[in-house]
């Protein structure tokens, strides 16, 4: 049986995921729950962590390494942003130790403190560390509520861009006139021609988004399309707009796609349709690997 070396935690805005890890990055046990940063603002962070450590059966003296929103200003303790450009393998240098029994540290996020393109991430930097070799040069896409495109050069994160794609989908589908054009029970967008058509339109004319959204509604009023196609078209329009803009910023290069579930599949289909070569990496595995690399820097001597 392999020996537990540390506990890895991805502590986001609305979820907690923890893993009992070996020194070589294998997962021995896992725990997850809805106790994200928003939840802990009321309950405190320490009792939530203690509960999950007990669920993992983790020994009291095991070190704990956390990434994500627990390190935000409104989190447990602030782990101030590193600034771009920054080496990914230096993330551990910015880890903040929490004043709590045991050795609990939170990895920093990364900020692009450029007035012409200000941007921030917390959690994704750890996934990036996980999926890149130390001298990696290339482009990474992490789809989600706030999708991120990241340019890495020789192991340094040099620039990135966040797209509100997932959040725009939610607020438009729930709160705009398009709620009448969306069938929440419609099947997967990926299998729907309206997804591919919306995607191609957005790739061809990404500036047209505010018009294409109304056009989605008008197409149904005029009988050109069914409500069952609304979700797929909206998804295609938004993802296509993101990919077109990212390609114009970063060039049409091969992309490492860090994702999970249906959203990963949608982006894989969309990037392929846009002619972008992709390598897919699982998002949780990326977090586990990034936390392991940073943990080895911090405590590697004790692991052997």
| Positions that interact with a copy of itself (CB under 8 A) | 111-113, 115, 117-120, 146, 161-165, 167-168, 171-172, 174-177, 205-211, 213-215, 218-219, 221-222, 224, 238, 241-242, 244-245, 248
- Cβ proximity to a copy of itself: between 89 and 245 the closer is 245
- Cβ 300 to a copy of itself shortest distance, Å: 33
Q: Toward a copy of itself, which CB reaches closer, 3 or 175?
A: 175
Q: Please give the helix or strand (H or E) that residue 174 lies within, else none.
A: helix 165-175
Smallest separation, CB 227 to a copy of itself (Å): 14
Task: Calculate ∠ Cα 251-255-259, nearest 5°.
Answer: 135
Q: Would strands 156-163 and 86-87 be described as parallel, antiparallel, or unpaired?
A: antiparallel
**Shortest reach from residue 304's CB to a copy of itself, in Å:** 40
CA distance 152 to 154: 7
Whose structure tokens read 């989908």? 169
Whether the bond into 85 is cis, omega within 30 of 0 = yes
Closest approach, Cβ 246 to a copy of itself, in A, equals: 8
Nearest to a copy of itself of 19, 81 (CB atom): 81
Nearer to a copy of itself, 9 or 243 (CB): 243
Which C-beta is closer to a copy of itself: that of 67 or that of 104? 67
Spell out the residues 6+ positions from residue 301 whose beta carbon is closer than 8 angstroms to its own.
none
What minimum distance in Å lies between the beta carbon of 130 and a copy of itself? 23
C-beta separation of 3 from 20 below 8 A:
no
Which lies closer to a copy of itself via its Cβ, residue 201 or residue 293?
201
Distance (Å, rounded) from C-alpha 132 to C-alpha 91? 13
Nearer to a copy of itself, 131 or 239 (CB): 239
Shortest Cβ 161–a copy of itself spacing (Å): 5
Residue among 233, 234, 230, 242 nearest 165 (CA): 242
56 contacts 20 by C-beta, under 8 angstroms = yes
Cβ-proximal residues to 174 (8 Å cutoff; 6+ apart), any chain:
none
> What is the smallest separation between the CB atom of 81 and a copy of itself, expressed in angstroms?
8
Q: Where are the alpha helices (DSSP H) in the chain?
A: 37-43, 46-56, 124-131, 165-175, 193-204, 209-221, 230-250, 261-273, 283-303
Going by C-alpha positions, the residue among 233, 240, 231 that lies closest to residue 206 is 240
Q: Which is nearer to a copy of itself, 31 or 241 (CB)?
A: 241
Least distance (Å) from a copy of itself to the CB of residue 122?
11
Tokens representing 111?
Answer: 């900020």
What's the rounded Cα separation, in Å, for the pair 61 and 168? 44
CB contact at 8 A, 264 and 143: yes
């Amino acid at each position: 049986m392999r020996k537990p070396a540390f506990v890895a935690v991805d502590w986001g805005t609305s979820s907690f995921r923890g893993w009992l890890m070996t020194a070589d990055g294998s997962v021995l046990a896992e725990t997850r729950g809805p106790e994200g940063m928003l939840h802990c603002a009321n309950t405190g962070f320490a009792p939530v962590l203690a509960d999950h450590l007990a669920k993992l059966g983790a020994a009291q003296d095991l070190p704990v390494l956390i990434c994500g929103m627990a390190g935000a200003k409104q989190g447990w303790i602030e782990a101030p942003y590193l600034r771009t450009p920054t080496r990914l393998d230096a993330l551990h240098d910015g880890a903040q130790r929490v004043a709590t029994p045991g050795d609990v540290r939170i990895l920093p996020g990364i900020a692009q403190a450029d007035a012409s393109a200000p941007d921030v991430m917390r959690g994704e930097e750890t996934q990036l560390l996980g999926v890149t070799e130390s001298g990696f040069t290339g482009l990474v896409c992490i789809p989600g509520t706030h999708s991120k495109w990241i340019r890495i050069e020789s192991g340094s994160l040099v620039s990135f861009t966040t797209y509100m794609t997932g959040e725009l989908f939610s607020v438009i589908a729930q709160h705009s006139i398009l709620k009448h054009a969306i069938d929440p029970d419609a099947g997967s967008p990926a299998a729907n021609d309206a997804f591919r058509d919306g995607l191609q339109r957005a790739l061809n004319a990404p500036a047209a988004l505010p018009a294409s959204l109304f056009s989605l509604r008008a197409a149904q009023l005029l009988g050109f399309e069914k409500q069952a196609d609304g979700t797929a078209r909206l998804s295609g329009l938004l993802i296509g707009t993101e990919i077109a803009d990212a390609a114009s910023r970063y060039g049409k290069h091969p992309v490492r796609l860090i994702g999970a579930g249906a959203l990963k599949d949608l982006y894989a289909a969309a990037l392929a349709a846009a002619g972008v070569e992709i390598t897919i990496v699982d998002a949780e595995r990326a977090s586990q690997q990034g936390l392991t690399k940073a943990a080895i820097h911090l405590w590697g001597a004790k692991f052997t």
